[in-house]
């Protein structure tokens, strides 16, 4: 089904930085994604429904893909990379196919869980012949090599690059508008999973641009420290600010490092490994709101959000990044 700019909703990033509207963009989202209170805790715990931000295969990845797939034509090819059960790989293939674009993928093995198994099966269905290596370094190198030797666009792991992060800057500006309109109170913290860091970096920068300097971004680490870490988030946020400055010719409020806190106690010991402590919180959310989480990212971050809300610092916003309909669409 073709989409036009009329279907996109208001892009607050373009309202703030009109020059960015010239960037090639694939219109994939239906924005804004709603904010909803968790039943029984309406004053303390809220959910940003990123699982509703696109008509198919929603979630945090599609915001970055609007920019990363921009300008592609039917018949073009992209290549990306991620774990065997990578929701980013699946999202890339799903949304590229909406544009008539072919996706190639180079993946690697990791600990699996029931949802990751379903993601991997769906990837095999939409990307026949997708390769799975035993080593992420090999998979990354292969994807880079294939993109440089042929006319194939490289989509970075997790969609994390300054261009892709613009989508998450827009999400923070969108949230600011929802707060201004009274759709939810200003949260004391936003809790989300930390993998490749693009979503956290974009929210951190977007909050600074919006002047929401008292909101803490609580990033629940779900991957090894070598790529899921504070320094990477800040580096990506600063690089995105430089991109905006270069394209718009105006100074941009940089990300505030003091607003970022990384928590490590929900990691579970390996990427993709189920955190036993997250099972009951995930069941609680499903019973209350019918929402399903994945064990790799969102269940761990939801557990961190529950822990954060229990500190009674103020309203907590859980950034729901997973859309289970990706597994059936």
pLDDT tens digit sequence for 279-301: 999 999 999 999 999 999 999 99
With CA atoms as reference, report the closest residue to 262 among 207, 224, 214: 224
Distance CA 139, CA 134 (A): 8
pLDDT at 204 over 80: yes
Q: Does position 215 have pLDDT exceeding 90, yes or no?
A: yes
Q: Distance between CA atoms of 187 and 57, rounded to whole angstroms? A: 27
Mark residue 293 as left, alpha or beta (left: phi above 0; alpha: psi -120 to 50; beta: remaining).
Answer: beta
For residue 9, the model assigns a pLDDT of: 60
Please state whether the peptide bond connecting residue 307 to the residue before it is cis, i.e. omega within 30 degrees of 0.
no
May I ask the CATH class of domain 5-57+160-327?
A: alpha beta
The pLDDT value recorded for residue 130 is 86
CA 296 to chain centre: 13
- The domain limits of the chain are 5-57+160-327, 63-158
- Average predicted confidence (pLDDT) for the chain: 94
Checking if the pLDDT of 306 tops 90, the result is: yes
Helices and strands in the chain: count of H runs, count of E runs: 10, 10
Which CATH number does 63-158 carry? 3.40.50.1100
5-57+160-327 and 63-158 in the same fold: yes
Name the 3-class secondary structure at 248: helix
| Both structure tokens of 264 | 């490590």
118-139: pLDDT as tens digits:
999 999 999 998 889 999 999 9
């Amino acid at each position: 089904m073709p989409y036009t700019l009329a279907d996109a909703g208001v892009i607050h990033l373009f309202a703030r930085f009109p020059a960015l509207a010239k960037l090639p963009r694939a219109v994939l989202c239906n924005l804004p994604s709603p904010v909803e209170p968790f039943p029984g805790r309406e004053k303390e715990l809220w959910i940003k429904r990123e699982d509703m931000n696109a008509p198919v295969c929603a979630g945090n990845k599609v915001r970055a893909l609007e920019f990363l797939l921009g300008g592609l034509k039917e018949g073009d090819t992209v290549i990306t990379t991620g774990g065997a059960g990578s929701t980013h790989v699946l999202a890339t293939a799903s949304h590229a196919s909406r544009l008539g674009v072919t996706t190639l993928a180079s993946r690697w093995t990791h600990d699996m869980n029931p949802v990751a198994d379903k993601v991997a099966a769906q990837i095999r269905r939409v990307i026949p012949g997708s390769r799975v290596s035993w080593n992420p370094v090999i998979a990354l190198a292969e994807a880079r090599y294939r993109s440089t030797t042929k006319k194939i666009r490289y989509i970075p792991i997790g969609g994390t690059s300054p261009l892709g992060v613009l989508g998450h800057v827009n999400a923070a500006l969108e949230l600011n508008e929802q707060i201004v309109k009274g759709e939810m109170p200003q949260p004391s913290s936003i809790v989300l999973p930390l993998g490749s860091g693009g979503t956290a970096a974009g929210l951190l920068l977007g909050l600074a641009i919006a002047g929401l300097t008292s909101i803490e971004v609580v990033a629940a680490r779900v991957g090894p420290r070598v790529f899921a870490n504070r320094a990477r988030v800040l580096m990506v946020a600063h690089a995105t600010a430089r991109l905006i400055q270069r394209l718009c010719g105006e100074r941009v409020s940089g990300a505030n490092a003091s607003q970022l806190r990384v928590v490590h106690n929900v990691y579970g010991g390996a990427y993709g490994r189920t955190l036993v402590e997250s099972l009951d919180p995930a069941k609680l959310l499903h019973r209350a709101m019918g929402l399903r989480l994945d064990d790799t990212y969102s269940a761990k971050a939801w557990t961190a959000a529950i822990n954060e809300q229990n500190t009674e610092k103020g309203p907590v916003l859980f950034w729901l990044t997973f859309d289970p309909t990706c597994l059936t669409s």
